[in-house]
Structure 1
Amino acid sequence: MRAVLAAGVVALIVAAGVAYAVTRNGRKDGSEARGATAAGCAPVAGAGLVALSDDKRVARADNILPVIRRDGVVAAVVQQLDLVSTALDTRELAGLNRRIEADHAAPADVAQEFAAANRLTKKVDLRITYGLTIGTTGLPEQQVVAHLYRISLEAAGYRTTVSTLADHAALHAALTSGSVTLAPEYTGSYAAFLNDRARGEPNRFAAPEFVAQSLAYRGGELGLSFGLASPAAAQDVFAVSKAFADKYHVTSLDEFARACSGTATVLGGPAECPAGYPCRQSLADVYALRAGACTELPDRGPAARAALTGGTVSLALISSSDPAFA
């Protein structure tokens, strides 16, 4: 069965070393950012976020992708999963996340609403009676997609069960052992995960053609195949507050680097941001962006959103499927 990947699903990842001042809970560690000698752009509080375009592709793309055990790959299964992949885009995925976060809606209920509105519940008489187990982690976004798979497959006559695993490693183990038949995953992250396990070391290179090859090769070794990668992506993006974008006239990372490289600029990101992908090292190397400080944030969601709108950081790493982008 063919593995279909959306064109350009993964961007180039490049890392370079630059010393940053790091803050934890608002405290700097005292080290100065090498090269951050210009004025920079101080944070600006205000409602709304703007995701900056990443023309040089610092962050890898993470489009939603059905991973299927090869013994579960039949045309009818792939057809029903492809219906889900094509029905979703990134803005709609952000909207589903907003329903969960703002309305405290259950992922299964959110999936049912979306499926009904997008004709994923339309019955297909394939006279199929055997069962499939769909895996997911506890991530609500991933659970919604798993339930969309369930609804689409049940419309074709499959009996399905959704099984929640502890994390992505446990989900992968369940796929390879056969305790689950299929699962939603993320293109770039899953390719990196498979290569890390195979090579025993982190792999930071993720050009689109490399990801396609990695998934086909590494997945094939494990008896895995793939459906159609969705346009919907839950990948790292760098965002600013709308008030910041309006004040400094920035819509892209390239514009941000030219206008805001300097000591007043505060970068926000997870614990690995000061030294890791795709944060300060990639920004410094690819965009020549220097910031005066790097503030550690506990997540790429609510904490990043609050730091941006509250005027704590100038630029933050956040998910493209965050409810703010719905």
Structure 2
Amino acid sequence: MTPKIHRSLALGAAAALTALTLAACGSDDSGDGGDTAPAADAVPLTLATQSFPEATLVGALYEVLLEANGYDVEVKAVESRDAYFGELSSGDVDVVPEYLAAVGDFLNTQANGEGAEPVTSSDPAATEAAVVPLAQDAGVTLLDLSDASSQNAFFVTAETAESESLTALSDLEGQSIVLAASPDCDGRADCEGGLSDVYGIDITEILPLGFASPETYAAVQDGEAQLGLTGTIDPNLEDEGLVLLEDDRGIQPAQNYVPAVNSDFLAEHEDLAGPLDELMAALDNDTINELLARITIDREQATDVAEDYLTEQGLI
């Protein structure tokens, strides 16, 4: 997209995201995830999600599914993994929708320190085998992986891509770049660290505007940043006039969706695993893109979209 066009879309997406976040943080009597309040004997469950559109959608799928299976779900929307993972380990949070390699890298750093040898790769099975023991040591159980996989991806405006013949991240090697991204991008091998170390891009500044957020789109559109962070699942890019650059040197590891559950909570509520595993089996990237478009473009409520999908699939 050329600078300063489609701004109404960006502002509309911002309003939609605000509404989604408020919906995700609803109280017990809000009616989210269904037309009736939870049953009196429903099991209290705290679900933490990160506060960007894709995470809001997946969190809503978990919320509606678990409410339908006898849980009284409280949703906590946070900005980064640091904000909830300690609570997941301690049991103050019970369930988190996770990404395989992202949680693996976090746990590896937590257990072995900054600079630890990476345990993740582009191979989901090998990454899962390496990450599961780290999760167990942290008091967390990972359930079944989904085929849906959302890796980090980086975009420029279509105008810039055409004028500078940019198709891949390696085309930016040696350039000084301002990056609009999530606050935890700094130093990560699949984010700023990989761009700097593997691609030789000089990241002069990270604007902490969020993952796939309207503010991140706008920063790149206006030229405040030259590169923005999103995911391989992002239905807004074409309408926003933005294009992804290929990860031609492979800094992105396997980021399959995976439920992360406090191990003690799961031991007490083993029935939790079945519905979540069924959901993981049903999801793929095409489905997520379709559902996410209903939220970010059509401005539907995340819980409404989740309930429609889960009902259509016979999951609730």
* Band of TM-score, shorter chain: 0.5 to 0.7
What CA distance in whole angstroms lies between the structure 2 residues aligned with 1:280 and 1:168? 17
Aligned residues between the structures: 217
- TM-score when normalising by structure 2: 0.52
Q: TM-score, normalised by structure 1?
A: 0.51
Partner of 2:162: 246
**Unpaired runs of at least 5, structure 1:** 1-42, 49-94, 113-119, 122-128
Tell me the residue number matched to 2:177.
266
* Alignment match of 1:136 (pick from 3, 23, 48): 48
- The answer on 1:294 being equivalent to 2:210 is no
Mapped contact 2:67–2:73 kept (Cα < 8 A): no
Alpha carbons 2:48, 2:93 under 8 Å: kept: no
Measured in 1, the distance between the counterparts of 2:130 and 2:206 equals 32
Structure-to-structure mapping, 1:116-135, within 5 angstroms: 131-135=43-47
Change (3 A) 1:203 1:152: same
Deviations 1:94-140 (A, max 9, x none): x9x9986233423475899xxxxxxx98xxxxxxx651513215625
Match of 1:124 in 2: none
Equivalence map 1:1-326=2 (5 Å): 45=3, 47=5, 101-103=14-16, 104-107=18-21, 109=23, 131-137=43-49, 139-141=51-53, 142-156=55-69, 158-164=70-76, 168-169=81-82, 171-203=84-116, 205=118, 206-207=120-121, 208=123, 211-230=127-146, 232=148, 235-254=151-170, 257=171, 260-261=172-173, 266-269=177-180, 277-278=189-190, 282-283=194-195, 285-287=197-199, 289-290=200-201, 294-300=204-210, 301-314=213-226, 316-320=227-231, 324-325=236-237
- CA distance in 2 between partners of 1:144 and 1:105 (Å): 12
Question: Kindly tell me: are residues 204 and 324 of structure 1, through their superposed partners in 2, closer, same or farther at Cα, counting changes over 3 Å?
Answer: farther
Secondary structure of the 1:105 match is helix
Higher relative contact order (CA 8 A, sep 6+): 1
Q: Give unmatched runs, 5+ long, in structure 2.
A: 27-32, 35-40, 238-292, 294-316
Whole-Å Cα distance in 1 between the matches of residues 100 and 71 of structure 2? 27
Return the alpha-carbon distance in structure 2 between the equivalents of residues 188 and 99 of structure 1.
32
Counterpart CA distance in 1 for 2:187 and 2:92 is 37
Q: Which has the higher helix share?
A: 2
AA at the equivalent of 2:222: G
Tell me how far 1:182 sits from its aligned partner: 1.7
Separation in 2, partners of 1:238, 1:195: 24
Q: Distance in 2 between matches of 1:275 and 1:225?
A: 27
Question: Aligned partners of 1:313, 1:204: CA distance in 2, in Å?
Answer: 31
Q: Distance in 1 between matches of 2:77 and 2:214?
A: 23
CA distance in 1, matches of 2:77, 2:163: 45
Q: CA deviation at 1:199?
A: 1.7
Higher Cα Rg, which structure = 1
